[in-house]
A and B are shown apart, each in its own frame.
Chain A
């Protein structure tokens, strides 16, 4: 128990230390402390993993009461089971690597200690999210990682554009958070608990389940997941979030935080299984997101933007798997994706580092020669994400496509199309960045260099993982499925029956990937094309380049309308209300003023009033009865 707490609190202690003393102890020291705490957590995660892999017994910790609700109470409780430990492993593992990477990457920044503090805080919240034993503790982590994302996207806070991006990320996440809250409220009132274990038994034991409300809860939770995991319609924050330093993009916006939605849905799989309508929605949203994001990624020229949309697209695939009830497949893809996408981001970070902040691919090229390690790791990851065997992405993506084919051909087609595009844009990225001649300025060229070993080491590790990561769940003999089996109610983990269809599908997927690569090769190597300048883009490409104008539409529909409503309220309604109140005063004043005129001073008039008053009083007293 104490070790579990240490696992949770180590990054938090690192955060406290760095925020209070980080400035005084020097950059490297604060980086080492930040990294060390996460490595400690990672070690503890391994410890718990080994423990649980043997005992198959979940560890549950209750700390103290937190929130008291009439029909239940929420406590600080933690649950270490297969799922949470799996997540812990790659969160802290990749976290450690990225911390390590950051020591070098952020070394020039004056606020490096803060950077590490925030990263540590993020890891802390992520751990809380993962190991919380109930939805509210999950919510702490959920909001906490959102906060860290806000802090880290806006890390260079002097640039208001970055701050805008940070704010946007936080607020869009909060829209999802509201959904999560609503889902919690429905669950709370239905089952009087928010604890996963009790919830599971309550649902399993219930005889008359109200499917309508359960579906509502599942849908609300899905909205929450949409926000955090950047699905349509709440995905636009993620590409903007690339404003943050690249390690942040790798850690938060590719590998860990954005998978929180998938974690939550997997966690509550027993609930989602009861709501097939919601599952359908999830699958459809996931596949559409995958396709839309992939199309946008086709034409982006900012290296990080391409990766960002690629992330959205991959997350869409995961949601597709979730929607089809194949939770373990989604988890599998989460893990492999974490490896190769972190690697890709870190690799792009390495490139950006070498080019001193240049992110536009049109100004890159030919880096293969100078940045060998970066190139190779990048290539491996690109192959992995494109689904080329034997790299890890092939296995996970293939499983998703298989599941989709089993359920719905249209979804399969969309997903396949998205993967084909993935292969194309990834290799477009690769070719534009690393092949041909360097297109940047001469000054940049003179500084080109391979990154230091602190940067390349994580790249190598991640590339290895991206290569062999597929081993944990081979199509016929899946360790992962067996490991996760206790979590799921449905026995969907049965090994696929491998027949001709499956092999054919696999072949189609691989061929699709190769076709994508080939098109990219033809276009950018053979024909030596370059993406057009911003002004020269036209037609559908322009729509894609401008991301379907979704940002503009949202801006117009929500931000502008809210702002003009606000202005209307401020200028019209407020003044009206205010003048109504003043109006009351004015009416009183006016009555007094008019009444004053009655006091004309004319004795004759007074006497009349007197006599009439006398009449009235006498009538009232003696005659009215």
Chain B
């Protein structure tokens, strides 16, 4: 077993376990923290696949921005207590059954599709450096890129509007 495979296995184990912990933690703060770890491990996967820029981006966006947002929201709502009422047992059982079911179905689909496992192509070309990515992004994907910026702008405005306190006094 090569080192890389070992690293992969370790990372995968962290990813999955923290994902589970995210869901099972009763305290939302803990959930959020586990999720951060999960994201870190995913960033590790990216690094493993040699996509450094993406990994950095991932860390910045998810672990940095999004998770902070989550934590702020949790604090804002004062939810850091383990006061959540669990769903009824039947629902939880249903959730577990569905989980197993969809796992089996999806994995079966991949197994059934009989992937050709063998030598992977290695062109040696640079395809994931910042330079190349930037080139592709601003040439081929110029328009979507601009739209993404509009989307972010709109989302920002929307978020502000939504979370603004309604004027109660009439």
Contact = CB atoms under 8 A, between A and B. Distances in A.
B120 to A, nearest CB: 24
Interface stretch (A116-124, A156-164, A612-620): A612-620
A624 B48 CA distance: 36
A610 to B, nearest CB: 10
B112 A622 contact: yes
Interface string A588-625: 00000000000000001000100110110011001100
B105 A612 contact: no
B102 A614 contact: yes
Interface in B120-160: none
Given A611-B98, A615-B101, A619-B105, A604 B87 contact: yes
Contacts, number: 26
Interface in A80-121: none
Contacts of B113: 622
B109 A622 contact: yes
Contact of A618 (B87, B94, B106): B106
A608 B94 contact: yes
Bin the interface of chain B by size: 10 to 19
Contacts of A611: 98, 101-102
Interface in A558-610: 604, 608
A614 B104 CA distance: 13
A622 B98 CA distance: 18
Determine chain A's interface SS by DSSP, over half rule.
helix
B163 interface: no
Contacts of B108: 623
Contacts of B98: 608, 611-612, 615
A623 B112 contact: yes
A251 B98 CA distance: 96
Contacts of B94: 608
Contacts of B95: 608
A614 B101 CA distance: 11
B102 A604 contact: no
B91 interface: yes
A484 B118 CA distance: 115
Contacts of B101: 611-612, 615
Contacts of A619: 105
A613 to B, nearest CB: 11
Nearest to B91: A604
Nearest to B108: A623
Contact of A623 (B91, B102, B109): B109
B136 to A, nearest CB: 31
Given A604-B87, A604-B91, A608-B94, A615 B102 contact: yes
Nearest to A617: B105
Given A608-B98, A622-B112, A622-B113, A615 B105 contact: yes
A509 to B, nearest CB: 106
Nearest to B99: A611
Interface of B: 87, 91, 94-95, 98, 101-102, 105-106, 108-109, 112-113
15 contacts: A604-B87, A608-B95, A611-B102, A612-B98, A612-B101, A614-B102, A615-B98, A615-B101, A615-B102, A615-B105, A618-B106, A619-B105, A622-B109, A622-B112, A623-B112
Given A604-B91, A614-B102, A615-B102, 4 more contacts: A611-B98, A618-B109, A622-B113, A623-B108
Give the 6 A-B residue pairs with the shortest CB-CB distance, closest first. Answer: A622-B109, A611-B98, A615-B105, A618-B105, A615-B101, A615-B102
